[in-house]
Amino acid sequence: MSPAKQVSLSKAIKRAAELREQLDYHNYRYYVLDDPEIPDAEYDRLFRELQTLEGKFPALVTADSPTQRVGGAPLKAFGTVRHEAPMLSLDNAFSEEDLRNFDRRARAAVEAEQIYYQAEPKLDGLAVSLLYESGVLVRGATRGDGFSGEDITQNARTLRTIPLRLRGRGYPRVLEVRGEVYMPKMGFAQLNQRQAEQGEKIFANPRNAAAGSLRQLDPRITASRPLEMMCYGVGKFEDAGLAARHSEILERLQEWGLRISPERAVLEGVEALLKYYQRLGGKRDSLPYEIDGVVYKVDRIDLQQRLGFVARAPRWALAYKFPAQEEMTRVLDIGVQVGRTGALTPVARLKPILVGGATVANATLHNEDEVHRKDVRVGDTVVVRRAGDVIPEVVSVVLEQRPAHTKVFHLPKQCPVCGSEVIRMEGESAARCSAGLVCGAQRKEAIRHYASRRAMDIEGLGEKLIEQLVDKDIVHDVSDLYRLDLATLMALERMGEKSAQNFLVAIGASKSTTLNRFLFALGIREVGEATAHTLASHFGELEAVMEADEEALQKVPDVGPVVAAQIQAFFHEPHNHEVIKKLVEAGVHWPAVPRKTSAAPLMGKTFVLTGTLAGMSRDEAKQHLQSLGAKVSGSVSGKTDYVVVGAEAGSKLDKARALGVATLDEKDFLKLIGH
């Protein structure tokens, strides 16, 4: 390279660094502080100058350059990210009494007369996680089910309110930030106008628009949408502590370039919380974004730690929801839906109406008692709301507008799906079809749940195929899935030989599972993924769960009297035993899960798995380690005790060697876990 070109390149390197720094600073002033220093035209001039330099010298392009927010090539599919610390839900309050009870319980638990709370609006968007390493954004993920979500890193990079590199100094080497991605009201209106002009889909509300935009496989589409993000907390970080108070953590996030709510406040006592709720409710319509309530969090981190968690929600936080928006419409009919458990639910078929930003055509009436209490009849004009801004329901009847000759509603005596007798147990509000798994509605839902991705994960068993298998009387319960053959499948509509063979392979693969997946797949009322995992870890084997009485079940963490009663009731039913027996005889199996004890040999040790093991899947290896008391992490750090190395190990092995972390090959690993 000639001396003149070297000088030119060195000047370009220096100028590009200056421009990136200036653009990052002005982005921070505009998006985080909402206090721009320069007009948009000047920002655009600086941006174009950087684009020109990077175009002339491509080596100057960096991953955290402001020019890289336009989005890269389309993805084929989203990867899955396992959250190292679960992204928990919040308990909801819908009344002043709920809020007072929350404050009372918190004060009693920490023995304090008053508590300071961090308060902020509850944005109506999509919860996401951002991972920064050495200040650089390396990963973005959706909340998903709280334990794992979708990898949306490329899409997250396109949002201007998400810094590609943290500002300043003092941030942890590894920092996971959590927040809400949303679409401002004005941006939503403009997007829908463009969609209508182009003949494309119109979004029902800003939340749906935000979720759909963030989960585009083509990042360029995400980049074209008016998405923003506000941060509300942190997950993982490597330092001993960021700050003593939650409000201080938020302030530090803002210093590092992350946007936080300008409406946040630190308040003392429940009366101040109520005043904040009223004040924010009064501003709701004038805010530039949709909110559906207020979030309160105990401000002191040490008090948060003392309060802890229950199930999937922290005891130190609460979402106080605003009253739902209400509209009036007419009841065209009252239908009855039969659920997976056989419960009959009356549903009002409505003249479509826009409520809270979404079109509502159906609203739940809950049960027959509720229909009679409200005296809802076909032809009535009713007030409809989206309870909790999610589930549409009928609030009341406008009796002054009731037409003549309306009839009182009664549930049918026979199931509308299978014609079996409808019964109602004493003390229960729900009436149920007595046919159990014989009822087509229940069978279809039971099979769908059993085959779902987080249960037995039978690929290819969708709604249409389930309908055929049940409607043609081929599958009576889930065990019949394992008796299907090629000829039977090929006789079905739209099922060729190749598809049938692939489906049989998927059914065969589902036989090898885990105990927690199997328990979840059974569809026991009140037993979700988390509870199924806890039951499997606690009891270790299916027979122990089936034989446990309510007292033994209530010794399991997070299993209370209601859940224990449901589990015992399920396993007391002879037909459930028969189905489980047929499933095991068909070859459904799982590895043994040793019960956890306080003397677990690997208690306190942290493992990382990399590569492919020949003798077991990664999930099985993880379950073995957890049963022995170990923690399984997704990334290698100085706190990692062992890295288990399988075939085709990736960068985690290199990092382990660089940090001096001990490694185990498959033989040593199997010996360690006694397998």
Number of neighbours of residue 247 by Cβ within 10 angstroms:
20
- Number of Cβ atoms within 10 Å of the Cβ of 361: 13
Q: Whole-angstrom Cα distance, residue 516 to residue 519?
A: 5
Determine which helix (DSSP H) or strand (DSSP E) holds 43, and give its type and residue range. helix 40-56
Using DSSP bridges, classify how beta strands 317-321 and 92-93 pair: parallel, antiparallel or unpaired.
parallel
Check residue 364 and give left, alpha or beta (phi > 0: left; psi -120 to 50: alpha): beta
In DSSP terms, 300 is beta-bridged to: 245
Measuring CA to CA, which residue among 592, 589, 524, 597 is closest to residue 563? Answer: 524
Asked if 305 and 286 count as a contact pair (C-beta separation under 8 A), the reply is: no
Q: What angle do CA 419, 424, 425 make, to 5 degrees?
A: 140
Q: Which residues contact 388 (CB under 8 A, 6 or more apart)?
A: 92, 94, 292, 321, 324
> Would you name the residues annotated as active-site residues?
122
- In 166-301 the beta strands, taken as DSSP E runs, fall at 174-182, 228-237, 265-268, 291-298
Q: Which residue has the tokens 């004040």?
A: 279
Phi, then psi, of 113 in degrees rounded to 5: -75, -35
356: which 2 tokens? 């809270």
Kindly give the pairing relationship between strand 291-298 and strand 174-182. unpaired
| H/E stretch holding 353 | strand 344-355
Task: Read off the tokens for 158.
Answer: 């396109």
Distance separating alpha carbons of residues 1 and 61, to the nearest angstrom = 20
Instruction: State the first-to-last Cα distance of the chain, in angstroms, to the nearest integer.
Output: 61
CA distance 399 to 381: 8
